[in-house]
Amino acid sequence: MTGIVRRLRRRPPKYSAAGLVWRGMRGEHWPRIWRDTELRRSYDAVVVGGGVHGLATAYYLARNHGITDVAVLDKAYLGSGASGRNTAIVRANYLTPEGVAFYDRSLQLYNSMALDLNINVMMSERGHLTLAHNDSSLRTMNWRAEVNKLQGVNSSVIGPDEIKKIAPALDTSDHPRYPILGALYHPPGGIVRHDAVVWGYARAADHMGVEMHQKTEVLDILCEGGDGPDGKGPGGKVVGVRTNRGDISTPVVVNCTAGWAGLISAMAGVRLPITTHPLQAAVTEPVKVFLPTVVVSGSLHVYISQTDRGELVFGAAVDAVATYSIRGSLEFTEELAGHVLELMPGISRMRLLRQWSGLCDMTPDYSPVMGFTPVDGFLVDVGWGTYGFKAAPVSGEQMAEAVATGRTPELIAPFALSRFDTGELVGEKGAAAVGH
């Protein structure tokens, strides 16, 4: 596809300490982070979903491929879905070679993001500990460490003494039920300020001419030539999008939604191997910083980090029951607290401040569905389960390449929708089930 390279906007002022002082002295406001523009009737490409994946896709379309006639549509506000609800952990210590290569690229992009996007996303490379409480999880940790090392990713299995040195809050004593036998230690892992990633991509994409449209809900995807009703389905092609603000004609629609991936894909007549489950998280009141790393326990379904604001952020496994309701549950907080105190009994007096949930699109093999579909011009970047945030930069980069070249980039080839026709699933299930 050939994009019209639109005239670049005048470069807005850069973010810097000097800029802060200058504007502070003069009492001047900063310009809008992205423009508020009219929704036009036609675009070269439409990205559905204004989260980190959609915005990254739009950004790389513009930056790497000069395709700037792009609209990003979100039914609420940018970052309102999983992008702003996740626990902001990044890591590359996956189990399969394809997973490791993919997430390692993502981590590289996160590391250079502040300078690339000129916004401080507060990448905190604080290290990531995945605890093993039994023999078999220790074996899986070793497996991951070995695959990681072969791919040049810094991971190793460490014992309780070293764990205690890194995170003294953890109870490494001889516990009957969940002893800490070891951990996969991944120093490059850490946390990122998730909202800043949303705003950074949106701002940078805006600078290059991409349009962000909030409160713009996709009601239908207009197709022709397909096997199904209204020209949808396999064999068809995309011709446009119907929104609550009118129809748009476009030859390319990229579905970058989470939680609603199945519903959006159904609008093009594409069925997905996805069920939607809430993923809950919670945060405590702040206390002085005592936990320097990210701690994850797969057996206990919990992951913990402490923000620079002093709050402990907790996450867990997805809820078992498929639902689009994100009201959250009491039992989640009960189980969470129980498991957190198994790991760190000394924090029983900390108070839970807020719980929330987001929607996760779960696939059978705990790996995403990326790239082309049987409907021409309809691409998906979905099925991100509980690991979408950490993959956002590389996903955007690769999806943009797919759109621009019409070919599936090698890095995302293992994640093609067609693997569910051939039964060649990705083997991340073991590592990613609660692998945050």
Q: In the window 78-97, what residues touch another protein (CB under 8 A)?
A: 78-80, 84, 97
Among 70, 88, 90, 123, binds another protein (CB under 8 A): 123
Question: Which residue's CB is nearer to another protein, number 198 or number 252?
Answer: 198
By CB under 8 A, residue 204 contacts another protein:
no
Neighbours of 400 (CB within 10 A): 26
How would you classify the pairing of strands 294-297 and 128-132? parallel
The site map against another protein for 155-184 (x = CB under 8 A) is -------------xx------xx-x-----
* Burial (0-12, 13-18, 19+ Cβ within 10 Å), 355: middle
Q: How far apart are CA 143 and CA 167, in angstroms?
A: 23
Binding window for another protein (CB under 8 A); candidates: 40-48, 57-65, 227-235, 256-264: 256-264
In the range 310-339, which residues lie near another protein by CB under 8 A?
310, 320-325, 327-331, 333-334, 336-339
Among 193, 213, 390, 436, binds another protein (CB under 8 A): 193
Task: Show Cβ contacts of residue 281 under 8 Å, excluding neighbours closer than 6 positions.
Answer: 85, 86, 87, 313, 314, 315, 316, 355, 356, 357, 358
Question: Which residue's CB is nearer to another protein, number 196 or number 204?
Answer: 196
Among 220, 245, 409, 420, binds another protein (CB under 8 A): 420
Q: Which of 135, 177, 132 is nearest to 159 (CA)?
A: 132
Question: Which residue's CB is nearer to another protein, number 250 or number 276?
Answer: 276
By CB under 8 A, residue 348 contacts another protein:
yes
By CB under 8 A, residue 31 contacts another protein:
yes
Question: Which residue's CB is nearer to another protein, number 251 or number 310?
Answer: 310
Residue 359 · residue 278 · CB < 8 Å: yes
By CB under 8 A, residue 16 contacts another protein:
yes
Among 234, 251, 364, 409, binds another protein (CB under 8 A): 364
For 296-329, give one letter per residue: b (16+ CB within 10 A) or e: bbbbbbbbbbbbeeebbbbbbbbbeeeeeebebe
The site map against another protein for 59-78 (x = CB under 8 A) is -----------------xxx
Q: How far is the CB of 406 from another protein (least distance, A)?
A: 25
Q: Which of 319, 314, 273, 310 is nearest to 290 (CA)?
A: 310
Task: Show Cβ contacts of residue 423 under 8 Å, excluding neighbours closer than 6 positions.
Answer: none
Q: For another protein, how many residues bind (rule: CB under 8 A)? A: 120
Question: Which residue's CB is nearer to another protein, number 124 or number 250?
Answer: 124
Quick one: angle between helices 388-405 and 97-111, nearest 10? 90
Among 7, 11, 17, 229, binds another protein (CB under 8 A): 17
In which region does residue 49 sit, left (phi positive, over 0), alpha (psi from -120 to 50) or beta (all else)? left
Strand ranges inside 65-177, DSSP E? 70-73, 89-90, 128-132, 156-158
Q: Which helix (H) or strand (E) holds 76?
A: none
In the range 210-229, which residues lie near another protein by CB under 8 A?
214
By CB under 8 A, residue 256 contacts another protein:
no
Task: Show Cβ contacts of residue 209 under 8 Å, excluding neighbours closer than 6 positions.
Answer: 6, 7, 8, 9, 62, 68, 69
In the range 267-296, which residues lie near another protein by CB under 8 A?
271-276, 284-290
Among 5, 239, 263, 413, binds another protein (CB under 8 A): 263
By CB under 8 A, residue 355 contacts another protein:
yes
Amino acid letter at 274?
A: I
By CB under 8 A, residue 131 contacts another protein:
no
By CB under 8 A, residue 122 contacts another protein:
yes
Binding window for another protein (CB under 8 A); candidates: 26-34, 41-49, 229-237, 384-392: 26-34
Q: How far is the CB of 9 from another protein (least distance, A)?
A: 14
